[in-house]
Chains A and B, each alone.
Chain A
C-alpha cells in the first residue's frame, strides 16, 4: 500500500469580488493526504467547500491555488483514473442499465469486443445486486437502484481512486443501509481508495478509516482529522456495540453541532494547516465525556 497516494497541498478557492464586494474565500490552505486503499470521509456544514474539493480532485473544477497529486502525478483535468459517483444519479436516461455501464467501460477500454464489454458490465451489475435489471431504463428503477448503477459504473472502470459526492444523500434510511453494506463489502474486496463526502456521522464511522472535519465557511479549513480506530471488519448490525463507537460518534456530533462554528472563529495560533491535528480518540482509555473534554482544549496536541 502506497502511503500518501493522493496528496492535496495548499488548496484554496477564492471567488473574485463582484461589484465591489469583498472576494469570497471558501476554503484556504487545505492540506491532506490519502494512502492507497484508505477510505476517507469528509464532514462539514454546507458551504465549507467539500464539493469543490471533490470536484478539484475529480478534475472538474480548478482551485484558485494549490496542487493535487495522485500516484506521484499532478491532477489536471478529469481522468479515468478517478471514478466519480455524483450526488444525484447521473445516469443517461435513454440508455439501459447495461448500456450506461458499457458507456463507461468502452471509454476505458475502447478496443474491447462487445462480448467482453458486456461480460465485464454484467460482473459489476451482479456486484451491486442488480442482476435481472440489466435492460431496464433508469426511469424504471427506484432511487436506490439508480445510485447502485452509478456505483457499478464507477467501479467498472476500475479507477485508482473513487470519489463519492454524498452518494446516499437522497435515499431513505433502509435503502441507504443496504447500499452502505454493499459498498463496504466491495471496498473490502477491491481495496479501493475512496474519498467521500457525507453529512451522516454514522455513515462516516461505518465506512471510513479517516474522517476529515471541516470548519464552517467562509475561510473554511480542516479542523482536525479523526482516525477511525474501529476494526475494519465492521457491520452495521453490531458496530454500535463497540465502546469506541460512541466516543467517536459523540466527538463528531459535538464537532458538527458547536465546534465547527467556534473553531472557524479561532485565529490560526498554533494551528498548522500543513498538519491539521490528528485525533485517535477511539482508543483513549478514558470515559467518553472526559475524552471530549480534553480535546476541547484549544491546543489539540494529540497529533
Chain B
C-alpha cells in the first residue's frame, strides 16, 4: 500500500527544509583561501588568503541561539535584555488589547450596519475612506493625543483590526437568509432573541473570518508599531538587535514571529470550525 498523502507531503516538506538549510549552510560557509581561480593581484588587494567570514549567521549559529533563548524565555536583565517569551508576551498583550477593543466596537456596529440599509449607506463612505489608511499613519496623532507610547501601539492595533471585522460582520448580518428571519417573524421572536439565536449563529462564520483576517493584520502591524514606539515587544526586539548588529537574533525573532502568527491563525481556524454549518 502507498503511504498516505499526509505522510508523503510531510516527507516533501522535510526534504525542502533540508534543501533550504543546505543552501543556507553552503552560502554562509567561511570563504577560506579559495584564491585558486582568482586573479592573485585581486586576491591580495582583498586581503586574500585570510579566512573571511560572512556577516550572515550560519544555520548552526541560529540553531544555538534558538536553543539558548528558548531554554530561558522569561529572564529579565533590564530594558535591553529580556527573554523572548517576555517580548512576545508584550506584543501579544498589545495585540489582544487592541483586537478586543476593536471587536467590542466592530461587532455591535457591524450588526447595526448589516441590519439597517440607512446606516449601511450612511457609514459606507467613512468605512471606504478609512479602511485603506495604513494604521501606522495614525501613530503621530495617537502619540500626540494619548501621550503614551504603549497605549498608542494598542490604538494602532485597534484601528487596523476594526475594518475587516466591521465589514465582515455587516456583510454576514446582511446576508442572513430571509427564510430564517421569516421563521423568526412568524414565531414572534423578540428582537434580542432574534439577534442572538438567529442572526449571530447564522453570521458567525463570516464574523469569525473577519476576526481571523483582523488578527492576521494586527500581528503584521504590531512588529512595525513596536519598532516605532520602542521599549518592549517583539518588534522592538528586532529593531534593537539590528542596532546591535546581531543578525542571528533577528533571524531568530523572525522565526518566532512566524510561529506565533501561525498559532494565532490556527486558533481562529479552530474556532471557525466550531461555528461552521452546512446548509
Dominant secondary structure at the B interface? helix
Assess the B278–A137 pair: CB atoms within 8 A. Answer: yes
Q: Given A86-B179, A86-B182, check contact A107 B187 (CB 8 Å).
A: yes
Interface set of B (CB-CB < 8 Å, partner A): 177, 179-180, 182-183, 185-189, 193, 197-198, 201-202, 204, 275, 277-279
Contact across chains for B179 and A94 when beta carbons are under 8 A apart: no
The 8 Å CB contact of B198, one of A79, A86, A92, A157, is A92
Q: Quick one: which of B182, B197, B204 contacts A90, CB cutoff 8 A?
A: B182
Encode contact with B along A92-108: 1 for CB under 8 Å, 0 otherwise.
11110000000110011
How many Å lie between the Cα of A78 and that of B182 in the bound state? 9
Asked if residues A103 and B197 are in contact (CB atoms below 8 Å), the reply is: yes
A92–B180 CA distance with the chains assembled, in angstroms: 7
Interface centre among A58, A90, A137 (most CB of B within 10 A): A90
Q: Which residues of B contact A94 (CB under 8 A)?
A: 201-202, 204, 275, 277
B166 CB to nearest A CB, Å:
23
Nearest CB in chain A: distance from B93 CB, A: 33
A84 to B198, CA, bound (A): 17
Told that A78-B188, A94-B275 touch, could you supply 11 new A-B pairs with CB distance under 8 A?
A59-B185, A60-B186, A79-B186, A84-B182, A86-B183, A90-B180, A90-B182, A93-B279, A94-B204, A103-B187, A157-B187
List the A residue with the shortest CB-CB distance to B179.
Answer: A90
Is residue A250 contacting chain B, with contact meaning CB distance below 8 A? no
Q: How far is the CA of A79 from the CA of B187 in the complex (A)?
A: 6
Contact between A88 and B188, CB atoms less than 8 A apart: no
Question: Within A29-87, which residues are at the interface with B (CB < 8 Å)?
Answer: 58-60, 78-80, 82-84, 86
Q: Could you list 29 A-B pairs, sorted by A, with CB under 8 Å? A: A58-B186, A60-B182, A60-B185, A78-B187, A80-B186, A80-B187, A80-B188, A82-B186, A84-B186, A86-B182, A88-B179, A90-B182, A90-B183, A92-B180, A92-B183, A92-B198, A93-B277, A94-B201, A94-B202, A94-B277, A95-B201, A103-B187, A104-B183, A107-B189, A108-B187, A137-B277, A138-B279, A139-B278, A157-B187
Q: Which residue from chain B places its CB closest to the CB of A92 in the assembled complex?
A: B180
- CB of B278, distance to nearest CB on chain A (Å): 4
Chain B residue numbers with a CB within 8 Å of A78 are 185-188
**What's the nearest-Cβ distance from chain A to residue B105, in Å?**
26
Q: Distance in Å from the Cβ of B201 to the closest Cβ of chain A?
A: 5
Smallest beta-carbon distance B69→chain A, Å: 44
Do B278 and A93 have beta carbons less than 8 Å apart?
A: yes
**B275 — which chain A residues lie within 8 A by C-beta?**
94
Separation in Å of the A95 CB from the closest CB of chain B? 8
For A83, give the chain B residue with the smallest CB separation.
B186
- Complex Cα gap A94–B275 (Å): 8
Query: CB within 8 Å of B: which of A93-150?
Result: 93-95, 103-104, 107-108, 137-139
Residues of chain B within 8 A (CB-CB) of A137 are: 277-278
Secondary structure at chain A's binding surface: helix, strand, loop or mixed?
loop
Neighbouring A residues of B278 by C-beta, 8 Å:
93, 137, 139
Q: In whole Å, how far is B193's beta carbon from the nearest beta carbon of chain A?
A: 8
A82 to B279, alpha carbons, bound, how many Å? Answer: 26
Give bound CA distance, A79 to B186, whole Å.
Answer: 5
Cβ-defined contact, A92 with B202, below 8 A: yes
Shortest C-beta distance, B209 to chain A (Å), equals 16
Across the A-B interface, the 10 shortest Cβ-Cβ residue pairs: A139-B278, A90-B179, A107-B187, A94-B277, A93-B277, A78-B186, A78-B185, A94-B201, A84-B186, A93-B279
Give the residues in chain B near A93, CB-CB below 8 Å: 277-279
User: B245 to chain A: closest CB distance in Å?
Assistant: 55
Distance of A138 Cα from B201 Cα, bound (Å):
15
CB proximity of B177 to chain A, nearest CB, Å: 8
CA distance A93 to B185 in the complex (A): 18
Q: Which residue of A lies closest to B198 (CB)?
A: A92
* Chain A residue contacts of B198, Cβ below 8 A: 92
> Quick one: closest B residue to A105, CB to CB?
B187
Please, which residues of chain A bring their CB within 8 A of the CB of B187? 78, 80, 103-104, 107-108, 157
- How close is B155's CB to chain A, nearest CB, in angstroms? 35
**In the docked arrangement, what's the CA distance between A58 and B277, Å?**
28
| Cα distance, A268 to B182, chains bound together (Å) | 36
Q: A53 to nearest B CB, angstroms?
A: 16
Among A164-190, those with CB < 8 Å from B are none
Which residue of chain B lies nearest to A87 when distances are taken between CB atoms in the complex? Answer: B179
CB distance from A83 to the nearest CB of B (A): 7
Least Cβ–Cβ distance between A153 and chain B, in angstroms: 8
Residues in B neighbouring A58, C-beta threshold 8 A: 186
A108 contacts which chain B residues (CB < 8 A)? 187
- Identity of the chain B residue whose Cβ is nearest the Cβ of A80 in the assembled complex: B188
Q: How far is the CB of A82 from chain B (nearest CB, A)?
A: 7
- In the bound complex, residues from chain B placing their C-beta under 8 Å from that of A139 are 277-279
Residue among B177, B179, B187, B278 with the highest chain A CB neighbour number at 10 A: B187
Shortest Cβ gap from A104 to chain B (Å): 5
Chain A residues contacting B185 (CB-CB under 8 Å) are: 59-60, 78
Could you tell me the distance between the alpha carbons of A79 and B188 in the complex, rounded to whole angstroms?
A: 6
